[in-house]
Amino acid sequence: MLKRLFDILVASFSLLLLSPLILIVAWQVRRKLGSPIMFRQTRPGLHGKPFDMVKFRTMLDATDEQGHPLPDDHRMPPFGSFLRSTSLDELPELWNVLKGDMSLVGPRPLLMEYLPLYSKDQYRRHEVRPGVTGWAQVNGRNAISWEEKFRLDVWYVDNQSLWLDFKILFQTVKKVIVRDGISAKGEVTVSRFTGSGQQSGERNG
């Protein structure tokens, strides 16, 4: 209950304080990337329950002659890369926090299609609300392996506390400033999880 109260207070204050910045980013997204301004996608929340996560879009709707989306590196313009590297694309997730779909701190919400691929231990990451930032994000973000990321997520589940949340939020600010661990090596975003020990490419998310 204390964590939820903390989430509501901080998310409300942040949305109010950052509203001019959010409006500016929304205007720039509309001008440089077009409509829709927001990227919405169903993600698994607490106990794997689906919810609609919202972010600023960072990719163009570019397709090949057959209508298939082009690879990420062809659809990610410099402005989209800037939004991701500064985490400005994540600002609308404060609304998800306010609604109760997410927490400020917790394992990042991934794709619904990953749910049947988790081991029993990896699935424990859904025992808490997903977060805007998390223990894995301040310990490598997208530059670490999926196995290490899930190990860090489960460690957070077992050791969560308000003090740890404060520590993660503080370290997140530092990570954003230095723009560390934004993408996996050789990837525009992050490799796709296809089960332990296997990886391939991921789409916009």
Task: State the pLDDT confidence band at 27, using cuts at 50, 70 and 90.
Answer: very high
> Do the bridges between strand 131-133 and strand 103-105 make them parallel or antiparallel, or are there none, so unpaired?
parallel
Q: Which amino acid is at 143?
A: A
- pLDDT tens digits for range 59-109: 887 666 676 676 666 778 899 989 988 889 999 999 999 999 999 999 999
pLDDT value at position 186? 45
Rounded Cα–Cα distance for residues 205 and 192 (Å): 11
| Six-digit token string for 118 | 């988790």
pTM of the predicted model, to two decimals?
0.82
- Average pLDDT rounded to a whole number, residues 113-135: 95
Q: Nearest to residue 113, comparing CAs of 168, 48, 196?
A: 48
- Average pLDDT rounded to a whole number, residues 10-20: 96
Percent share of the chain, pLDDT over 70: 83
Rounded Cα–Cα distance for residues 73 and 38 (Å): 20
Mean pLDDT of the chain: 86
Percent share of the chain, pLDDT over 90: 66
Q: Residue 112: pLDDT above 90?
A: yes
pLDDT value at position 63? 66
Rounded Cα–Cα distance for residues 37 and 47 (Å): 29
- pLDDT tens digits for range 139-183: 987 778 899 999 999 999 999 999 999 999 999 988 887 765 555
- pLDDT tens digits for range 182-202: 554 444 456 788 887 544 333
* In the chain, domain spans: 2-200
Task: State the pLDDT confidence band at 204, using cuts at 50, 70 and 90.
Answer: very low
